[in-house]
Amino acid sequence: MGLDMYLYVRRWVSSTDEKYSDITSALGFPNEYDKSNFVKIEGTIAYWRKANAIHNWFVNNVQDGVDNCENYNVSKAQLLQLREVCQRSIVNRDNGQPVELETISGFFFGNTEYNEMYWDDLRETVEQIDVALRIDKPDEVDYIYHSSW
């Protein structure tokens, strides 16, 4: 039990896509499936556990301050913004700059101290966003943030 956070990638694949048959076959669709339909595929591209400062950023910058365990669309620009804030915070850490990503307490949200776990969360976030943005045809996917506790 605790704060679990996911960044999903969703892609709609049309019957004109060269991989359509492979996808419908892998999903176990029968041969008589109406090939004029679209197929939605979705997968987890990033996962955090009790990274409450990152969650707080999503709540404030993507979810309009509402923390309700729903799915929220995240733009590529928002992912880049989060990545930039994390990188800047890491660089500024040794320069005595104030922390930009504030921790938040909540129901099993984990540690709220600015200790090494906090900095690991920021470094991991940069790495996971880099992976998420290297996805094939990034302009054809939806990014979705979801949290639960």
Report the pLDDT averaged over residues 91-120: 90
Q: What is the pLDDT of residue 23?
A: 86
Q: What is the pLDDT of residue 98?
A: 82
Which residues on neighbouring strands pair with residue 146, listed in sequence order? 6, 71
Q: What is the pLDDT of residue 80?
A: 97
Judged against a pLDDT cut of 80, whether residue 84 lies above it is answered with yes
Report the pLDDT averaged over residues 11-26: 87
pLDDT band at 56 (very low <50, low <70, confident <90, very high): very high
Sole residue written with tokens 């704060």: 3
Q: What is the pLDDT of residue 82?
A: 98
Q: What is the pLDDT of residue 5?
A: 97
Residues in CB range of 55: below 8 A, 6 or more apart: 3, 5, 48, 67, 104, 109, 147
Residues in CB range of 147: below 8 A, 6 or more apart: 3, 4, 5, 6, 55, 58, 67, 69
Q: What is the pLDDT of residue 87?
A: 95
Give this prediction's pTM. 0.90
- Here the tokens at position 115 are 């200790």
pLDDT band at 42 (very low <50, low <70, confident <90, very high): very high
